[in-house]
Structure 1
Amino acid sequence: MTESAPATTGRDWPIAAAMINFPGVLPDGTLVQDQPVGDWRDTLEQVADAGFDYLDPTDSWLRVADLTADRLTEFEQLLAEVGLRLGGISTARRSIIDANHGADYLAYSHRVIDTAARLGVADVSFGLFQELTPEQKKALWFWTAPGHVDPEDADTWNLAVSRLAELARHAREVGVHISLEMYEDTYLGTADSAVRFLHDIDAENVWLNPDIGNLQRLHRPVEHWQRMIEKTVPFARYWHVKNYFRTEDASTGAIMTAPAPMEYGVINYRMAVRQAIAAGFDGTFLCEHYGGDGLSVSATNRRYLQRILPPRD
């Protein structure tokens, strides 16, 4: 009898490393953005050595959309030399409805789309979350201090919708998909609001980035993670994944959270991923983790995902 081939695992799913664990400002005050391209090698080699095949440059580390054409080509070459590919491009704290910089961030988002197309990257992730407040910058965990809140008025909501619809038209022309990152106190701050916002944009190449870890970490009541997943994963494409320990004391109302590896936190990602795939999800995962050696925890999360994912069609 011929032995059957061993079952494949989720190793053929694209799983990328976020670069949030690497600072964009060096100890001497200079910017990673301004370094010679070769100086990025050590950081990229750390990502490859952790086991990743993909990364997302994450513009808190490097704004690839603001590199000159020559430096962008050099960056591509360096990625190839260390054995990495781009799984997507995410932006952070560059809201297109920022009261002071919204127009600039809209122009920047257009550059991100063009850069993704230039690099052959299918997915970009945009959010409406804004710069950390002074209180958040002082806190051990920034999400425990009050941050920006999107205004509850139709005009600002409609401005966000119209600007994202503009970005969607551009992205469609160059073959790029947009995913919108869920984040507290923005128009993407609850599952219901995020789905309504997506429907108002009404573009076939705009999806949700159901990063419900951003919400489950809050020290206040939030919707149960399972209901969030049920509502959002039918619209998911590029998915930032991370997890948190969460404890709620019903007798006092106290709520405490802390970052956790994916398999140990409050969100049951085995269940969440299965629900997403059943709903048609076939996209890229981006592993994030705050605190400690975030890259190593992200690498552990990558291996966890590979264990629980089925073979990719």
Structure 2
Amino acid sequence: MPLNAADWPLSAVLLQFPNAHDADATVWADVLGQARRAGFDRVDLIDSWVRPGDLTEARRDELLQVLREQGLTVPVIPVARKSVIDPDSGEANLAYDHRTIDAAAGLGAKVVCLGLHRPLTAAQQKAQWFWTVDGPKDSDDPEVRSLAVARLQELGRHAAEVGLLISLELYEDTYLGTAASAVRLVEEIGMPEVGLCPDVGNLIRLHRPVEHWRDLYAATLPYANYWQAKSYQRDEDPSTGAVFAIPAPLESGIVNHREVVAMAIGAGFQGSFGLEHYGGDGLSVCAANREYLRRILPETGDYAAGTSRVAQPVF
């Protein structure tokens, strides 16, 4: 049954909040209560806030109880900066992703969002905006790319066994860093349970030449099963090559989201939106972005959505 503006899953991704993995449940309740008071009925439990895969069963039950008390559900568990081909921690990250898949199923999630980006470098951590400093890059070695495919296939099989989907997040200088490479990777994996998270915001914010946002979306949306949505203002000076980018609400950034949301639905997208924003009161900006999306999503489910090339979550 096609979704409509009223029932489309729109979640707050809790990246604005500091790590609370070991915090008391009252701290969890405070953060989740803020999301609820901002008008959200869904949150994506990004593991920079709490790591569901590393919680004991008792603590996971405690988290689930707090979510229920706040009237919140969890469509997606995003995993941040734990690449399965990290030269230092790839095997450990793979094991962690397996634990996260099991935890996500226990929390009622539909999707686990993974990426190949690695922890921020010291220089990135010192910068006002970390994306203005180059970070680690994936290897050009075909064997490393083959390892990425094999490990993501392994995770895809696990997700399918417990009724979940895997979404792979676009991110610069990884095998998910260009439209062509990202599409090639998901096709190499070759599983309907593994799709893309077209977080084009991760690319258009770079202070260097990037693919046009329309081209990025056109290539990746047919493979999308979850969408971390954020935007940026971007200005380029052709005479010097200088680029400047800062976070912006969805309706006022460089991307025309009215256009690309229509493109997504035309490609068969029926996934959840995870709303993100860096800087300032990010939660309030995400709430405004939620209302913007409600205005531009279809009012009814009576539309001819295209056929996605990957499986879509059922909400």
Q: Does the CA contact (< 8 Å) of 2:171 and 2:203 recur in 1?
A: yes
Q: Does 1:128 align with 2:105?
A: no
Instruction: Tell me the matched-pair count.
Output: 299
AA partner of residue 15 (structure 2)? I
Q: Match of 1:173?
A: 161
Write out aligned runs for 1:1-313 (5 A): 10-24=5-19, 32-311=20-299, 313=301
Task: Return the alpha-carbon distance in structure 2 between the equivalents of residues 156 and 71 of structure 1.
Answer: 36
AA partner of residue 128 (structure 2)? L
TM-score by length of 1: 0.94
Structure 1 unaligned residues grouped into runs of 5+: 1-7, 25-31
Structure 2 unaligned residues grouped into runs of 5+: 302-315
AA partner of residue 252 (structure 2)? Y
Task: Return the alpha-carbon distance in structure 2 between the equivalents of residues 120 and 62 of structure 1.
Answer: 16
Q: Does the CA contact (< 8 Å) of 1:59 and 1:92 recur in 2?
A: yes
Q: After TM superposition, give the deviation of residue 250 of structure 1 in Å.
A: 1.3
Query: SS at the partner of 1:292?
Result: coil
Q: Does the CA contact (< 8 Å) of 2:115 and 2:168 recur in 1?
A: yes
Task: Return the alpha-carbon distance in structure 2 between the equivalents of residues 11 and 183 of structure 1.
Answer: 30
What is the alpha-carbon root mean square deviation over aligned residues? 1.1
Task: Return the alpha-carbon distance in structure 2 between the equivalents of residues 229 and 120 of structure 1.
Answer: 29
* Higher gyration radius (CA): 1
1:222-259: CA deviations, max 9, x gaps? 11000111100000011000000000111211110000
Q: Match of 1:28?
A: none
TM-score by length of 2: 0.93
Q: Does the CA contact (< 8 Å) of 2:14 and 2:43 recur in 1?
A: yes
Structure 1 segments (4+ residues) deviating >6 Å: none
Task: Return the alpha-carbon distance in structure 2 between the equivalents of residues 293 and 215 of structure 1.
Answer: 22
AA partner of residue 248 (structure 1)? E
Task: Return the alpha-carbon distance in structure 2 between the equivalents of residues 247 and 190 of structure 1.
Answer: 20
Q: Does the CA contact (< 8 Å) of 1:94 and 1:129 recur in 2?
A: yes
Q: After TM superposition, give the deviation of residue 120 of structure 1 in Å.
A: 2.0
Identity %: 53
Distance 1:312 1:66, change over 3 A: farther
